[in-house]
Amino acid sequence: MAERMSGIQNALWADRPAWRVELPSGRCLDTARRVLVMGVLNVTPDSFSDGGRYFGHDVALRRARAMVAEGADILDIGGESTRPGSAGVSAEEEKRRVLPIIERIAAESGVPVSIDTQKAEVAEAALDAGAQIVNDVSALRSDSRMAALVAERGVPVCVMHMRGTPRTMQKSPAYAEVVGDVKRWLQERVAFALEAGIRREAILLDPGFGFGKTPQHNLELVRRLHEFHELGCAVLIGPSRKSTLGVVLNAESDARLYGTLAAVACAVMAGCHVVRVHDVKPALDVVLVCEAVRRGMEWSP
């Protein structure tokens, strides 16, 4: 029992390896003091949680500004839903949805913008519009031009684990051992990215909470998140409002805030570098308190 408790304590109080990366603008992402909060903005009619809520340039821009005011370190803007069972949209439609928002918020705010897309054409247009990070849920697999684009532009890239595609990923997901399987898969994607010329410090690894996993798989990934440090890259996780929390809480997506915050706290204590959330201010409060607890007597405001 003592060994088991020691293992759990190590997981929940894991050290967070240093991570610092310079963006093309000269601004740096740095987790020396605390975990960074990435705010989610889905400019779509069909995303699983907020689909349709910000589907319009005016309302989306107001939401982006609100997240900046709440303290977001990064804004992640996407124009194509990746909810389970979703179908894709054309690159032209995706660009129509996101580019006006990216142009405006990048021009008026110092907060770095991430483009959530699997298409190099969309990513390139977004980077031209002011985005400085690419978030590719396909882990550079969907578009053969994406890795070269990221390397050429010198921007950070989020590489996420997903079985299959959003349309198929939740059809009986199974693993021999979920953490080991996901780690090996991400290790291969890191090798691919490095071979393409992407800097190791520019790679963020996302184990894909909710993407091709059962609730038990997702919970195990959070519990053992510290093990992904072995891959030598920053770790990002996005548990916000996911269905696993709904299973645990017996709650619909709009009633999962407290569950999301609990998952964020666990992820911070397990040593993640970035949390991706819909509710920026509450998540930032959790991050700040967790960091204060982690530092103990060394903490100062």
Instruction: List active site positions.
Output: 242, 276
Q: What is the CA radius of gyration of the chain?
A: 18
End-to-end CA distance of the chain: 37
What is the rounded CA–CA span in Å between residue 102 and residue 275? 21
Q: Within 13 Å, how many C-alpha atoms sit on residue 189's CB side?
A: 27
Alpha-carbon distances of 84 from 182, 193, 194, 202, 273, rounded to whole Å: 19, 26, 30, 28, 26
What is the rounded CA–CA span in Å between residue 235 and residue 189? 14
Which residue spans within the chain are E strands per DSSP?
Answer: 20-22, 28-30, 36-42, 74-78, 113-116, 133-136, 157-160, 203-206, 234-237, 274-277
One-letter amino acid for residue 230 of the chain: E
DSSP letter assigned to residue 79 = S
One-letter amino acid for residue 267 of the chain: A
Helices (H) and strands (E) in the chain, counts: 10, 10
